[in-house]
């Protein structure tokens, strides 16, 4: 008789955003006349920029003609895209990353879920608390997290790094040394950032202890301040200890287009075995490339027109972040993030629980946000709002919150 | 110090098709004037059908406008596509599969590589020999296959089911009962098929023994004979023992577009736990949906125009298969497949080894095929040609083989 992967049964009921989706659908079904504003799931709302649309149309036409048709893509992604990435995201920032260290994928969620697979089952995993659920859940599924302690609401085998008001939501290297460390900056969900000096401390710690940092930089386009690094490879020594995951979802509105990439430097080795080669093997065996038309759209992100248009698009969301941040501040809320990130992290009023505030905001304001506790124990009492709504909806949402 | 997933080191040098790609690139670099014809990797060459191109353009335009923009897709895939699949691939064939048992993905390769993950590590895996490498390799990576025996060229912990001339390449249920059984019909690489009665034997065997059949039906569009099942759900009892994986790559030329789906019936359970729910959980946690524009293209596959155009496209490749089959037969080769499948499986002449014949054919005929031994020990002495080239190239390739 076959058996199932029992580790799946250790997971909480359902994926956080699936739960929110269901709750909202139920509320909407019961209250069809209520105009709900969604500032919960980090999904963008602005249309694709003209340069992207043009590139997509052009690539579609190519696919419709025998002489320019494209079948299976190269394992790592098309050269034209990896070249654009290497030049714009790395070389232009003084980071030493070559094209064959870049792996194009269908998105940062897949990559951040799959990356753990190339590491041993005995690795100790560290995640920040609160944290994007995929890092932890994918390690739970793999069986790397030990038993779930219902009373403590955490896994025995995981090192949780608290990110709290006290440390300004910047994690500090833990005393017990982890093997795999997930870091995400600008941070989801807190919207806070790390300075280059603070990140250098982590890189040095990882190199000293033989740890790997899995660095999720999906929100780097939202950085406005000079001292905040866009890539971990801006830190010295990162090539021997860090993997970086990037997304086109938030800098180019690709949440429904699906494109991302992961950088695994050739200098990252375990007793002589190249981690890059393991990821290449996984990529080649269990993935078959991002669509040609989507990779062409990715290329357009780096064109002159694309850059210009996307700068405006990001600025649009940044304005929303400012609107939310300022409005909540004015109302006396304690608010974090929003400056170098599209997320606003607020303390729930009157010591409400995160889910309690979720229900309250949905019911009284018809606004969907994300309960902080969905990201971990330290997120309890907090709530995440995103800047990815339309400007009008963002203003309207703030008006509604004012009237609560 | 972090460790790597040591199971990866048990894998042969590189993924079969990556090796072929490298060999061909090297040959072409050394012989830039030689006009190589590629009948190796199963990649299509015909352009996307007009109905698909139209659907893609329309969806791209939608993505360019705020009012019709689509962000994150629903976890399982868009209703419009799952509905079309349920109606056309299942209901129309009398198969009882509902929309919420269908999971849209970025392709059958990803799904067939990832599906093992929801099962326990103690499951005994059975694969046919020869076999599409992904089934085996993904289980090697997961650590479900035991030690590799260099002398035997096989894994200790795997049940290999020989598919040979003697059994007409139709596998028979093994005496030692496996927990997970990978079957692929029409078969890659042999191009042979299974009758409904023969498949029913497997379904009964799986139900009796508590095994799961992972049924890869990526090539079903190439079936021409009445008695060959298009879906395993045509067999009685398959809902309690079978998962089916489907692709748009070969019926609609989507190798570079990336779309597939997997069916997990709700009746497939392990001590009360729904396997469907586990796959839903994986899908929701480690994947973020196929692109909206690609799912719209998938929908167009089922439109009246799409169906008509794709029937012609498949017929085009079927004619190629006939050309190869007949030409090789005339030359005295022993040939299999090609009738209900886009693959022709030939016995190498003069007892040449598979790779020996690969080099011979590349060097003397400038034709790329796939060495049978790359699919398993029983593939040694065989060679796979695909019908996915252009008609002209297929004719030319046969002319070249005649002159060898």
Per-chain mean pLDDT for chain B: 96
Which of A47, A73, A288 is opposite residue B63, by nearest beta carbon? A47
Mutate to test the interface with A, among B7, B60, B208 (most CBs of A within 10 A): B60
Check whether the bond before A402 is cis (ω within 30° of 0): no
Structure tokens at B347: 């016995």
Contact B170, B192 (CB under 8 A): yes
Contact B190, B371 (CB under 8 A): no
Q: What is the pLDDT of residues A111-137, one digit of tens each?
A: 999 999 999 999 999 999 999 999 999
Is the Cα torsion angle A76, A78, A83, A85 positive or negative in sign?
negative
What are the backbone angles phi and psi of residue B46, rounded to the nearest 5°?
A: -75, 145
Structure tokens at B254: 């989507």
Mutate to test the interface with A, among B100, B245, B256, B306 (most CBs of A within 10 A): B256
Distance CA A46, CA A388 (A): 8
Distance CA B286, CA A132 (A): 12
Note the pLDDT of residue A301: 98
Task: Determine, for residues B291 and A291 on separate chains, whether the beta-carbon distance falls below 8 Å.
Answer: yes
Contact A188, A343 (CB under 8 A): yes
Chain B residue with the nearest C-alpha to that of A75? B18
Residue B25 labeled ligand binder? no
pLDDT(A299) > 70: yes
- Higher-confidence residue of A335 and A17: namely A335
Note the pLDDT of residue A14: 66
Task: Determine, for residues A141 and B9 on separate chains, whether the beta-carbon distance falls below 8 Å.
Answer: no
Q: What is the pLDDT of residues A131-159, one digit of tens each?
A: 999 999 999 999 999 999 989 989 999 99
Distance CA B144, CA B115 (A): 13
Note the pLDDT of residue A226: 94
Mutate to test the interface with B, among A104, A140, A270, A285 (most CBs of B within 10 A): A285
Residue A42 labeled ligand binder? yes
Length of chain B: 404
By C-alpha distance, which of A190, A172, A166 is closest to A126? Answer: A172
* Average pLDDT estimate for B153-178: 96
Which of A69, A71, A123 is opposite residue B2, by nearest beta carbon? A123
Which of A48, A57, A64 is opposite residue B48, by nearest beta carbon? A64
C-alpha separations of B317 from B310, B312, B323 in Å: 11, 9, 10
Note the pLDDT of residue A351: 95
Assign A360 to helix, strand or coil.
Answer: helix
Task: Determine, for residues B63 and A69 on separate chains, whether the beta-carbon distance falls below 8 Å.
Answer: no
**Residues pairing with B155 in the sheet:** B148
Task: Determine, for residues B46 and A69 on separate chains, whether the beta-carbon distance falls below 8 Å.
Answer: yes
In this structure, how many other beta carbons lie within 10 angstroms of the beta carbon of residue B197?
Answer: 10
With a threshold of 0.90, tell me whether the complex ipTM lies above it. yes
The pTM is what? 0.97
Strands (E), A192-314: 212-216, 242-247, 260-263, 269-270, 273-274
- In angstroms, what separates the C-alpha of B326 from chain A's closest C-alpha? 26
Residues of chain A contacting residue B287, judged by C-beta atoms under 8 Å apart:
106, 109-110, 113
User: Does an H or E element contain A58, and which?
Assistant: helix A50-63
**How far, rounded to the nearest angstrom, does the alpha carbon of residue B303 sit from its chain's CA centroid?**
24
Note the pLDDT of residue B19: 85
Distance CA B266, CA B240 (A): 8
Q: What is the pLDDT of residues A321-352, one digit of tens each?
A: 999 999 999 999 999 999 999 999 999 999 99
Note the pLDDT of residue A150: 86
Distance CA B100, CA B116 (A): 20
* Average pLDDT estimate for B345-366: 97
Identify the structural domains of chain B with CATH numbers, from first to last.
6-47+305-402 (3.90.1150.10), 53-303 (3.40.640.10)
Chain A residue with the nearest C-alpha to that of B58? A57
- In angstroms, what separates the C-alpha of B152 from chain A's closest C-alpha? 23
By C-alpha distance, which of A57, A182, A212 is closest to A108? Answer: A182
Residue with tokens 């040939």: B335
| CA torsion angle B231 B232 B233 B235 (round to 10) | 120
The runs of H, that is alpha helices, within A98-256 are 108-114, 133-142, 196-209
- Residue B9 — very low, low, confident or very high, per pLDDT cuts 50/70/90? very high
Residues of chain B contacting residue A275, judged by C-beta atoms under 8 Å apart:
4
Task: Determine, for residues A66 and B45 on separate chains, whether the beta-carbon distance falls below 8 Å.
Answer: yes
Size of interface A-B (CB pairs under 8 A): 252
- In angstroms, what separates the C-alpha of B227 from chain A's closest C-alpha? 30
Distance CA A183, CA A168 (A): 15
pLDDT(B14) > 70: no
Distance CA B63, CA B60 (A): 5
Check whether the bond before B107 is cis (ω within 30° of 0): no
Q: What is the pLDDT of residues A252-288, one digit of tens each?
A: 999 999 999 999 999 999 999 999 999 999 999 999 9
SS3 for B111-177, per residue? HHHHHHHHECCCCCEEEEECCCHHHHHHHHHHCCCCCEECCCCEECCEEEEECCCCCCCCCCCCCCC
What are the backbone angles phi and psi of residue B127, rounded to the nearest 5°?
A: -130, 150
* Average pLDDT estimate for B27-39: 96
* Average pLDDT estimate for B364-376: 95
Note the pLDDT of residue B110: 98
- In angstroms, what separates the C-alpha of A202 from chain B's closest C-alpha? 15
Per-chain mean pLDDT for chain A: 96
Task: Determine, for residues B287 and A109 on separate chains, whether the beta-carbon distance falls below 8 Å.
Answer: yes
Residue A2 labeled ligand binder? no
Mutate to test the interface with A, among B133, B182, B291 (most CBs of A within 10 A): B291
Note the pLDDT of residue B12: 76
Task: Determine, for residues B71 and A287 on separate chains, whether the beta-carbon distance falls below 8 Å.
Answer: no
Say if strands A260-263 and A242-247 run parallel, antiparallel, or are unpaired.
Answer: antiparallel
Is the Cα torsion angle B41, B42, B45, B47 positive or negative in sign?
negative
Distance CA B140, CA B32 (A): 38
Contact A372, A383 (CB under 8 A): yes
Note the pLDDT of residue A347: 97
Residue B364 labeled ligand binder? no
Chain A residue with the nearest C-alpha to that of B276? A4
Which of A75, A113, A120 is opposite residue B5, by nearest beta carbon? A120
Which of A3, A46, A137 is opposite residue B122, by nearest beta carbon? A3
| CA torsion angle A58 A63 A69 A75 (round to 10) | 90
Task: Determine, for residues A60 and B56 on separate chains, whether the beta-carbon distance falls below 8 Å.
Answer: yes
> Range with the lowest mean pLDDT among A111-115, B15-19, B190-194?
B15-19
Chain B residue with the nearest C-alpha to that of A76? B18
Assign A384 to helix, strand or coil.
Answer: strand
- Residue A42 — very low, low, confident or very high, per pLDDT cuts 50/70/90? confident
Task: Determine, for residues B63 and A41 on separate chains, whether the beta-carbon distance falls below 8 Å.
Answer: no
End-to-end CA distance of chain B: 56
- Residue A66 — very low, low, confident or very high, per pLDDT cuts 50/70/90? very high
């Amino acid at each position: 008789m076959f058996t199932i992967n029992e580790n799946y049964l250790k997971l909480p009921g359902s994926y956080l955003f699936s739960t929110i989706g269901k709750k909202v659908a139920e509320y909407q079904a019961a209250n069809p006349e209520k105009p709900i504003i969604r500032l919960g799931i980090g999904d963008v709302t602005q249309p694709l920029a003209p340069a992207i649309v043009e590139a997509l149309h052009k690539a579609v036409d190519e696919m419709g003609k025998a002489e320019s048709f494209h079948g299976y893509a190269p394992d790592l992604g098309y050269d034209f895209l990896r070249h654009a990435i290497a030049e714009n995201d790395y070389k232009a920032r003084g980071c030493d990353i070559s094209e064959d260290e870049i792996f194009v994928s269908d998105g940062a969620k897949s990559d951040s879920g799959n990356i753990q697979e190339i590491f041993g089952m005995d690795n100790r995993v560290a995640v920040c608390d609160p944290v994007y659920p995929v890092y932890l859940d994918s390690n739970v599924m793999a069986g790397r997290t030990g038993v779930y302690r219902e009373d403590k609401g955490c896994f025995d085998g995981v090192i949780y790094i608290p990110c709290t008001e006290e440390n300004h939501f910047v994690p500090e290297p833990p005393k017990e040394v982890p093997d795999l460390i997930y870091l995400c900056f600008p941070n989801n969900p807190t919207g806070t950032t790390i300075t280059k000096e603070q990140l250098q401390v982590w890189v040095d710690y990882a190199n000293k202890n033989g740890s790997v940092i899995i660095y999720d930089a999906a929100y780097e386009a939202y950085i406005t301040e000079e001292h905040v690094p866009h890539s971990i490879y801006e830190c010295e020594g990162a090539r021997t200890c860090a993997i970086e995951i990037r997304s086109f979802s938030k800098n180019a509105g690709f949440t429904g287009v699906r494109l991302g990439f992961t950088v695994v430097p050739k200098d990252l080795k375990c007793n002589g075995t190249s981690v890059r080669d393991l990821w290449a093997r996984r990529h080649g065996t269990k993935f078959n490339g991002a669509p040609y038309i989507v990779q062409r759209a990715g290329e357009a992100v780096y064109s002159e027109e694309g850059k210009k248009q996307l700068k405006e698009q990001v600025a649009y969301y940044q304005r929303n972040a400012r609107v939310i941040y300022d409005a909540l501040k004015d109302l006396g809320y304690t608010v974090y993030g929003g400056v170098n990130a599209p997320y606003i992290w607020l303390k729930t009023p009157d010591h409400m629980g995160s889910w309690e505030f979720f229900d309250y905001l949905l019911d009284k304001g018809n606004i969907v946000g994300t309960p902080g506790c969905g990201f971990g124990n330290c997120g309890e009492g907090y709530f995440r709002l995103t800047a990815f709504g339309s400007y009008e909806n963002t203003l309207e949402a703030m008006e509604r919150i004012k009237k609560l």
